[in-house]
Structure 1
Amino acid sequence: MSQKTPAQKPSAQKTAARKTPAQRNRKPGASRTPSRKGVAIGAAVAAAALLLGVASQFATGGSERPSHDTAAASVSSGPDEGVYPELAKLARRDEGDALAQGRKDAPVVLIEYADFKCSYCGKFARDTEPDLVRKYVDAGVLRIEWRNFPIFGEDSESAARAAWAAGRQGRFWEFHKAAYADPDAKGKGFGKDRLAELARTAGVPDLERFHADRDSAAAREAVRKDQEEAYGLGATSTPSFLVNGRPIAGAQPEEVFTAAVEAAARKAKEQEKAPQTKAPETKAPSGAESARGAKSAESGEAAR
């Protein structure tokens, strides 16, 4: 997992310089009062942040890294263990989302927060994601939604905007594949010429439009929205995932994702079969009752 190395306590000047893109772009005077949705997922976010933080320690050199069997067992031990329903609501399920693949109404949604300069994100894209697509996306069980989460500076943000621009012409996943095809993508960087090369490899038909889109305010806003979602979740490293509200940190072995997807699919199937509580029927008022109600309403209006 790729992660920024925390520095020692910075001065006020350095703190300002190290603000996240979302913080830097916040308009002066803008309200920081959390939305209802933000308040609702607060506890789940705190728990997810703790889980992602612990996993980040293992992924970046922790001494007691859990075994593959342990990681898979923690997912399969119970359908509700480690699942936060409020986080499942982060799935957008937008019909026209070019950065998603799979049925809009698929029972399971995997959200990936990733950076194109992240080597672990590339490992997931090359080694695990194709099998998940073949086994679950093609079968209508899984939907994958990508979130641009560039954490390595302007080069990462340029790649994120370029991927979004490719999506405007229906070639996001082709761009995604081309960008991650080379394990040394991080070393090569994402300058203008390389982005154009990746766009051509991805089959983007209109390169002039591609360059205009990637430099647009709309591209910056789309990336900022994804970043704010990830930072709000407590994610600090890439890749980070949610599978129907279950946080998974890092490019874990394929069986971890398989166990999470299948557990979520089973739970969705059980919920579908469970009897729905029928709302009590409201008896239609009789003619006399309607007349009395109307008369009372008139009296009330007059009193006011």
Structure 2
Amino acid sequence: MSLTRSGATRRFLLAFAAVLCVAPFAAHAQAAKPGPAHDAGKETVDALMAAPPLPDVWLGSPDAPVTIIEYASMTCGHCARFEDEVFPILKKKYIDTGKVRYTMREFPLDPLAAAAAMLARCSGDKRQAMIELLFTQQKNWAYVDKPLEALRDVVKQTGIGPKEFDACLNNQSMFDKVSQERNIAAQKFGIDATPTFFINGDKKTGEIPPDALDGVLAPYLKK
């Protein structure tokens, strides 16, 4: 698979690959896996809610009784399925009704996922729309022979042209923050697979099927 097209994107990919070598993680582990001993415990609200390197983009009421933080990778097929099959139900039934407050944090599994995460951030207030687009079109850019070229074509729909594309991937500050967010998640919260959810501090690794969503959230809404 050829990832590079220009010197700029090649430098980005090599730099992020170096980050992965320094702090490796399960790059292809998209399903639930056992993690460190503390994974089974409940993370403190303060630790999870501490300001991350990249500002959280919240959906839902600040007064919602349930807070969900999802760590996801843009190249994760399970994450794409959650976005396509489960998130619309979550939003309509729980977020829009004031029951759930939700945010997605970046946990790129590979350099291509990091590039997609950066592009979503570079789209500003269109980030959520960009995330939905990239997940919907995932098979058209993440699993092709020239994914970066395909990614360029996909994000054109949001107004990001070739110059903006390269400028985003060469934004050192953005690059550092994406790397830091991933490393904090891995080192502090023991994340080694995507998607990983924290529901009011309780950790749940792996997919939540559409027909299981109500059952997962019901205990928290009764408290």
TM-score normalised over the length of structure 1: 0.54
- The alignment covers a number of residue pairs equal to 192
Q: Are 2:73 and 2:106, in contact at CA under 8 Å, matched by a contact in 1?
A: yes
1:217 correspondence with 2:180: no
2:104 match: 146
Please report how far the alpha carbon of residue 249 of structure 1 lies from its aligned counterpart in structure 2 after TM superposition.
1.1
How many Å separate the matches in 2 of 1:99 and 1:208?
A: 26
Matches within 5 A, 1:51-62: 51=40
1:161 correspondence with 2:164: no
Please report how far the alpha carbon of residue 122 of structure 1 lies from its aligned counterpart in structure 2 after TM superposition.
0.8
How many Å separate the matches in 1 of 2:107 and 2:43?
A: 22
Instruction: Name structure 1 gaps, 5 residues minimum.
Output: 1-15, 23-44, 52-81, 268-304
1:20 match: 23
Please report how far the alpha carbon of residue 205 of structure 1 lies from its aligned counterpart in structure 2 after TM superposition.
6.7
Q: CA deviation digits over 1:32-68, x for unaligned, max 9? A: xxxxxxxxxxxxx7332xx4xxxxxxxxxxxxxxxxx
Comparing both chains, which one has the higher relative contact order based on Cα–Cα distances under 8 Å and sequence gaps of 6 or more? 2
Structure having the higher Rg:
1
Change (3 A) 1:88 1:135: farther
Q: CA deviation digits over 1:141-196, x for unaligned, max 9? A: 21211111112x22222112112212xx2111111111111352531378443333
Instruction: Name structure 2 gaps, 5 residues minimum.
Output: 1-18, 26-35
Structure 2 counterpart of 1:248, one-letter code:
K
Please report how far the alpha carbon of residue 105 of structure 1 lies from its aligned counterpart in structure 2 after TM superposition.
3.6
Structure 2 counterpart of 1:159, one-letter code:
A
Select 2:76's aligned residue among 106, 114, 118: 118
Q: Are 2:72 and 2:107, in contact at CA under 8 Å, matched by a contact in 1?
A: yes
Structure 2 counterpart of 1:126, one-letter code:
D
How many Å separate the matches in 1 of 2:46 and 2:56?
A: 20
Q: Are 2:108 and 2:114, in contact at CA under 8 Å, matched by a contact in 1?
A: yes
Please report how far the alpha carbon of residue 204 of structure 1 lies from its aligned counterpart in structure 2 after TM superposition.
4.0
2:136 match: 181
Q: Are 1:102 and 1:138, in contact at CA under 8 Å, matched by a contact in 2?
A: yes
The alignment yields a C-alpha RMSD, in angstroms, of: 3.1
How many Å separate the matches in 1 of 2:178 and 2:24?
A: 10
How many Å separate the matches in 1 of 2:143 and 2:66?
A: 35
Structure 2 counterpart of 1:250, one-letter code:
G
Change (3 A) 1:17 1:112: closer
How many Å separate the matches in 2 of 1:128 and 1:87?
A: 25
1:261 match: 217
